[in-house]
């Protein structure tokens, strides 16, 4: 019989304790909580996780429950096994009847960067039918103030460009669906760097894979914002009067010069 | 006379701070039929990308840092802003451009000092005006100039130009070949460029169908070829 680790043991018992909708999603959250509690008792299950687009993601395959259940856990100290089972029970008692959104909100209080919670709020607003795009402004402003520019220095100028456009798009009541896409365009690239900075117990091959993804996504975001700038200033941006007149006079001079010769 | 614009003409036109801005604006106002090509458009776009990355985003960083920095005073004089700008770690050339923007902003708008929130908003506005101006002029180029699509490669002619003079770069030659190709259907044609040199111009006229090369420098005062 193949030997299982304390991580396998914890995963197996957690999976057994809940089921149904949002399985992997809830598994991620609960494993993170479990790990946090176990660390207080000096038990390190070496949980492989990172913070990503929608919260914590645990790199553990929960699909093959039969395999996990076939593992031999006898070498794990009895005391540790008992602790794992007790904490899972406490977590289940507390969270079993909470909605995924409630669990998610609580989890984000532990997020390493405040901006993660602000983006969660912004995406929630764009998802709901009962919200106005103007509600985004508050969170956008908070994101600008709290953006972690030391850790995310490379993407900071792109964030500012993106924020500049979004601020104006909100003002002109840009359609909700497009606003959501626009937010995700930045957020998903940010999240690639986020998981690189927060990854714990992740193997080097996977990290290198994530690094490649980030480089690729970063360049796509740059191109997206560059192309969007043409659309933005051509269609959505209203210049202050001074500039409007300046552009008008350019066109006027051009027309006058043409007339002088041809008339 | 038909005119074919090199990329330094279109770049000079779209970017207010470019060395060739006045000359480019003057030649743009001429009533002659004006042409450009995809290579010219690509180089212009590339330059816009650089301005956006350096100056536009630089202004946004300055605007944002004024709001985010908790140690900075609520009301600022020009010297306070310049000192703050120095502390932000911009590369020297961008820093100089941003300093210039601050000097202009202070001389045009503020009498002595300004609240940092207002200054931050004005700098953001400045960044948007800069990009807006560039994009509108870029659109203007596309709407008012005729784009020529070259269909032939002209390998031997390209090699001839490159082999004769070290001043010819691949990008320059691509644009010269675009103009040469246009001459089959549109002549006489004058190439307008800021890269004009006697020896270089002679080679272009000798090897290609381009009738004349005019130096953009000569259009500092409004006149048409």
**What pLDDT does residue A8 have?**
95
Q: Using a pLDDT cut of 90, give the percent of chain A over it.
A: 73
Please report whether residue B225 resides in a domain.
Answer: no
**What pLDDT does residue A260 have?**
45
pLDDT category at B164 given cuts 50, 70, 90 is: low
Please report whether residue B12 resides in a domain.
Answer: yes
Please report whether residue B100 resides in a domain.
Answer: yes
Average pLDDT over residues B50-60: 96
Q: Which residues of B touch A242 (CB under 8 A)?
A: 129
**What pLDDT does residue B128 have?**
97
Does residue A226 sit at the B interface (CB-CB below 8 Å)?
A: yes
Number of domains in chain B: 2
pLDDT at position B45 over 90: yes
Please report whether residue B85 resides in a domain.
Answer: yes
**What pLDDT does residue A150 have?**
96
**What pLDDT does residue B104 have?**
93
**What pLDDT does residue B223 have?**
80
pLDDT at position A263 over 50: no
Q: Which of A204-208, B93-97, B218-222 has the lowest mean pLDDT?
A: B218-222
For chain B, positions 141-170, list CB contacts with chain A under 8 A.
Answer: 144
Based on the fold, state whether residues B64 and B112 are members of the same structural domain: yes
pLDDT: is A64 or A123 the higher one? A123
**What pLDDT does residue A261 have?**
41
Based on the fold, state whether residues B131 and B146 are members of the same structural domain: no
> For residue B214, what is the domain's CATH number?
3.40.50.1010
Cite the DSSP H helix spans in chain B: 7-14, 21-28, 38-51, 57-68, 78-86, 92-109, 116-144, 155-164, 170-182, 198-207
**What pLDDT does residue A237 have?**
94
Please report whether residue B146 resides in a domain.
Answer: yes
| B6-24 pLDDT per residue, tens | 999 999 999 998 999 999 9
Domain that holds residue B64: 50-135
Mean pLDDT of chain A, nearest integer = 90
**What pLDDT does residue A105 have?**
87
pLDDT category at A52 given cuts 50, 70, 90 is: very high
User: Given B29, B49, B129, which is nearest A239 (Cβ)?
Assistant: B129
Average pLDDT over residues B2-6: 97
**What pLDDT does residue A253 have?**
58
**What pLDDT does residue A262 have?**
36
Q: Which of A25-29, B182-186, B211-215 has the lowest mean pLDDT?
A: A25-29
Based on the fold, state whether residues B54 and B130 are members of the same structural domain: yes
| B102-155 pLDDT per residue, tens | 999 999 999 889 999 999 999 999 999 999 999 999 999 999 999 999 989 999
Does residue A247 sit at the B interface (CB-CB below 8 Å)?
A: yes
Based on the fold, state whether residues B59 and B78 are members of the same structural domain: yes
CB contact under 8 A, A164 and B124: yes
Please report whether residue B178 resides in a domain.
Answer: yes
Residue B121, C-beta contacts closer than 8 angstroms, at least 6 positions apart: B63
**What pLDDT does residue A102 have?**
87
Based on the fold, state whether residues B107 and B75 are members of the same structural domain: yes
Q: Which of B84, B109, B135 is the last residue of a domain?
A: B135
CB contact under 8 A, B137 and A250: yes
pLDDT at position A257 over 80: no
Based on the fold, state whether residues B16 and B74 are members of the same structural domain: no
pLDDT at position B198 over 50: yes
Please report whether residue B128 resides in a domain.
Answer: yes
| A216-238 pLDDT per residue, tens | 999 999 999 999 999 999 999 98
SS (H, E, C) chain A: CCECCHHHHHHHHHHHHCCCCCHHHHHHHHHHHHHHHHHHCCCCCCCCEEEECCEEEECCCCCCHHHHHCCECCCCCHHHHHHHHHHHHHHHHHHCCCCHHHHHHHHHCCCCCHHHHHHHHHHHHHHCCCCCHHHHHHHHHHHHHHCCCCCCCCCHHHHHHHHHHHHHHHHCCCCHHHHHHHHHHHHHHHHHHHHHHHCECCCHHHHHHHHHHHHHHHHHHHHHHHHHHHHHHHHHCCCCHHHHHHHHHHHHHHHHHHHHHHC
Based on the fold, state whether residues B106 and B73 are members of the same structural domain: yes
Q: How many Å lie between the alpha carbon of B18 and the closest alpha carbon of chain A? A: 17
Does residue A243 sit at the B interface (CB-CB below 8 Å)?
A: yes
Please report whether residue B215 resides in a domain.
Answer: yes
Based on the fold, state whether residues B59 and B38 are members of the same structural domain: no
Does residue A144 sit at the B interface (CB-CB below 8 Å)?
A: yes
């Amino acid at each position: 019989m193949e030997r299982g680790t304390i991580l396998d043991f914890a995963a197996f018992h957690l999976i057994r304790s809940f089921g149904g909708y949002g399985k992997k999603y809830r598994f991620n959250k609960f494993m993170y909580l479990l790990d946090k509690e176990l660390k207080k008792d000096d038990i390190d299950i070496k949980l492989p996780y990172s913070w990503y687009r929608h919260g914590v993601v645990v790199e553990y395959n929960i699909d093959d429950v039969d395999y996990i259940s076939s593992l031999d856990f006898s070498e794990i100290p009895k005391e540790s096994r008992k602790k794992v089972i007790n904490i899972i029970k406490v977590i289940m008692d507390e969270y079993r009847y909470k909605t995924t959104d409630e669990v998610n909100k609580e989890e984000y209080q532990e997020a390493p960067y405040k901006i993660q919670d602000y983006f969660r709020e912004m995406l929630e607003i764009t998802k709901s039918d009962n919200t106005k795009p103007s509600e985004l402004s508050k969170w956008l402003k908070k994101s600008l103030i709290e953006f972690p520019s030391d850790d995310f220095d490379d993407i900071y100028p792109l964030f500012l460009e993106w924020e500049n456009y979004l601020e104006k798009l909100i003002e002109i009541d840009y359609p909700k669906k497009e606003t959501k896409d626009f937010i995700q365009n930045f957020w998903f690239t940010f999240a690639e760097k986020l998981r690189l900075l927060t990854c714990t117990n992740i193997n080097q091959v996977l990290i290198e894979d994530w690094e490649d993804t980030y480089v690729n996504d970063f360049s796509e975001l740059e191109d997206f914002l560059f192309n969007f700038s043409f659309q933005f200033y051509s269609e959505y941006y209203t210049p202050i009067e001074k500039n409007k007149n300046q552009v008008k006079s350019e066109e006027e001079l051009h027309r006058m010069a043409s007339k002088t010769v041809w008339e | 006379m038909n005119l074919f614009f090199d990329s330094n003409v279109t770049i000079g036109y779209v970017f207010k701070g470019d060395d060739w801005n006045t000359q480019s604006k003057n030649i743009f106002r001429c009533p002659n039929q004006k042409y450009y090509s995809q290579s010219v458009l690509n180089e212009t776009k590339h330059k816009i990308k650089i301005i956006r990355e350096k100056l536009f985003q630089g202004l946004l960083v300055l605007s944002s840092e004024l709001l985010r920095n908790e140690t900075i005073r609520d009301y600022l004089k020009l010297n306070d802003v310049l000192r703050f700008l120095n502390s932000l770690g911009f590369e020297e050339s961008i820093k100089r451009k941003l300093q210039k923007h601050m000097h202009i902003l202070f001389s045009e708008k503020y009498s002595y000092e300004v609240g940092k929130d207002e200054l931050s908003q004005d700098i953001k506005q400045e960044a948007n005006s800069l990009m807006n101006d560039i994009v509108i002029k870029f659109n203007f180029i596309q709407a008012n100039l005729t784009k020529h699509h070259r269909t032939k490669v002209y390998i031997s002619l390209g090699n001839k130009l490159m082999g004769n003079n070290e001043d010819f770069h691949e990008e320059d030659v691509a644009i010269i070949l675009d103009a040469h190709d246009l001459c089959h259907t549109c002549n006489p044609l004058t190439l307008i460029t800021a890269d004009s040199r006697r020896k270089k111009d002679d080679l272009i006229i000798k090897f290609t169908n381009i009738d004349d090369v005019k130096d953009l420098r000569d259009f500092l005062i409004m006149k048409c070829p």
